[in-house]
Amino acid sequence: MKCVDKNRRLKVMTNADTPRDTLQAIKFGAEGIGLCRTEHMFFESSRILAVRQMIVAKNVEQRKKALNKILPMQRKDFEEMFTVLNGKPFTIRYLDPPLHEFLPKEDSDIRSLSKVLGVSYASLIERINDLKEFNPMMGHRGCRLDVTYPEIAEMQTRAVIEASINVKNKGIRVHPEIMIPLVGDVKELKFVKDIIIKTAKEIMDEKGVKVDYKVGTMIEVPRATILSDEIAQEAEFFSYGTNDLTQLTFGFSRDDASKYLNDYYMRGILENDPFAHLDKNGVGKLVEISIEKAKKVNKDIVLGICGEHGGDPSSIEFCHNVGLTYVSCSPYRVPIARLAAAQASIRAKQSK
Ligand code: PEP
Ligand code: MG
């Protein structure tokens, strides 16, 4: 692997949401976290109740009260992750899924939740129905949640910055990189970024400690790729979320396409699964357009990928060839990603 690392240019980061996965990935050679899906921390049984209280809240005050219960848990998660990372970059992606994913589906569970939350069964059902969407993956998720509920971004920023300060005070270096999901317009990014900057400043002034943090975005909506020259002016980094970008570019649901993709292979329409191997002709083209536009306005922008393709050798070769800085993949894919990055670099040199 020393030989591999000498030959690769791409950095290899990991997608991890727990200290255990982070440690495993570092043992495999990961150079930091490229994607921490914070919602995975919300799903834990010990905290799901507070999350549900936040969702059924009838007004901002009630919502903030519930968020205040989540804050110490999220801050503790981040402190543990920063400690394991010991100075390596930590890309923290803000809440992404539609809120209905946090609510129970079975009637008996809804009934018991109504008792625990102290709300009537009828009003809980009403809230659950309110949150139902015909196309949840194109629904009220990603940065759209922060547009409706800015207090969620406020709480997550407080958790990131307070955790950074606490860990920094113990003499451990921290590199938080805050990542906003599902941005399609620069004004969405700016809206959330302003909340982050304001909240972070308040905390740093209050504690008298400065934290160097970055704010960037995922590029996973096709519109964001063609408007990357606008978006890059407000972002310090882009991470290509090629799971959603593939879904939205093909218009194939990432959860259901496997039901019919075999017919596409059989009839020679597609050669393989675009969710596993990056579609260079379509999705890849959008990534290339985005890179060119972003670099034109922001030559220092850091560009990476954190979709499943970040651990796939043929997609990694594409990432090398288009000049990305890093790929991020699940912990067990880190060694193969390092190897694929070196092979891509050697092949590119040989073909020159
Ligand atoms: C993506 O869309 O590629 C991504 C990494 O985000 P998620 O899979 O969490 O939607
Ligand atoms: Mg996504």
Q: Is the CB of 180 under 6 A from ligand 1?
A: no
Ligand nearest to the CA of 36: 1
pLDDT of residue 352: 84
Does the pLDDT at position 46 exceed 80?
A: no
Q: Is the CB of 176 under 6 A from ligand 1?
A: no
Bridge partners (DSSP) of residue 35 are: 15
Q: Is the CB of 37 under 6 A from ligand 1?
A: yes
Confidence of residue 55 (pLDDT cuts 50, 70, 90): very high
Per-residue pLDDT, averaged over 86-115, amounts to 93
Tell me the CA–centroid distance for residue 112 and ligand 1, in Å.
32
Atom nearest to 220 CA in ligand 1 = 2
Q: Is the CB of 243 under 6 A from ligand 1?
A: yes
Which residues fall within 8 angstroms of residue 80, CB to CB, at 6 or more apart?
A: 19
DSSP-assigned states of every residue in 34-98: EEEETHHHHTSTTTHHHHHHHHH-SSHHHHHHHHHHHHHHHHHHHHHHHHHHTTSEEEEE---S-
Give pTM, 2 decimals: 0.96
Tell me the CA–centroid distance for residue 115 and ligand 1, in Å.
35
Give 176-189 pLDDT, tens digit per residue.
999 999 999 999 99
Tell me the CA–centroid distance for residue 307 and ligand 1, in Å.
5
Task: Give me 261's structure tokens.
Answer: 């993709």
Q: Is the CB of 242 under 6 A from ligand 1?
A: yes
Give 112-153 pLDDT, tens digit per residue.
889 988 899 999 999 999 999 999 999 999 999 999 999 999
CA proximity to 251, closest of 282, 213, 226: 282
pLDDT of residue 109: 86
Cβ neighbours of 323 (radius 10 Å)? 13
Percent of the chain scoring above 90 in pLDDT: 93
Tell me the CA–centroid distance for residue 169 and ligand 2, in Å.
33
